[in-house]
Amino acid sequence: MQLHDSTARGPGSVSPSEIARFSELAERWWDPAGPMRPLHAMNELRISWSLAHLPAPVDGHGRRRTLLDIGCGAGLASEAFARAGFDVTGLDASSAAITAGRHHLRHHPLPEGSGPLAYRCGSAEELCAEGARFDAISALEVIEHVTDPAAFLAMLSTMLRPGGALVVSTMNRTLRSLAMAKIGAEYVLRLLPVGTHEWRKFITPAELGQQAVRAGLRIADIAGMVPGLGGWRESRDLGVNYIAQLVRD
């Protein structure tokens, strides 16, 4: 499948090859047994940890706080954040993924009491240039796919309002992650399409911390995410998957 989004060809954090790859998966994004089943499996943990480390969805005056779910795909996390009460903007550079997200939302309306959810096809650079600001930002399994992780974090820092928080989940660049998240998941168990990840682009916690500091942020909390028979759970083991809370100093 060829991707023709103008946003995917533009400069900045968006990688045309990455967007094309995920666009091919868009129609089955919401299939828990499909190519995105690892995201479905870990989504409950990602969301629960994020909600515990982001500002409350509603402030003391009853106003819904705004949340940017960047690299949202077809909206697994976006819908969950809206159900929690945030006013959510789901941003992705893949028009196919955004179309799938809108289609799912149209046919599976959020329950009463949820916050609004609006999808947008575009890049972080476009949103930042418009002066958009958010109370909370989630970047889940995204930073390892962008062209310049440090510049990406700097943009997100610019879009974060004072007192806000950013949650990032990604994969550590270790021999264990090469064996499990790359070779095992893609080539042996076929949990993900081959080529989903590039191991050299995985980011160590130390690198994330250094990039955060350059962006005017710091890691306030960090945890590993590990699979088990009872589902994914939080762990001190950062060797493969991990999630971090970033705040301003």
Which residues line the annotated binding site for S-adenosyl-L-methionine? 46, 71, 92, 140
Using CA atoms, how far apart are residues 97 and 75, in angstroms rounded to an integer? 8
Report the candidate in 10, 68, 94, 129 with the shortest Cα–Cα distance to residue 102.
94
Tokens describing residue 220: 């306030």
Count CA within 13 A, CB hemisphere, residue 129: 6
Is residue 57 within 8 A of residue 65, CB to CB? The reply is yes
Query: Known binding site: residues?
Result: 46, 71, 92, 140
CA of 124: how far to CAs of 68, 80, 139, 233, in Å? 10, 21, 11, 30
What is the bridge-based pairing of β-strands 160-171 and 134-140? parallel
Q: Which two tokens stand for residue 173?
A: 């660049």
Non-local CB neighbours of 93 within 8 Å, separated by 6+ positions: 5, 7, 8, 14, 19, 121, 122, 123
**DSSP string for residues in 28-54:** GTT-TTSTTHHHHHHHHHHHHHHHHHS
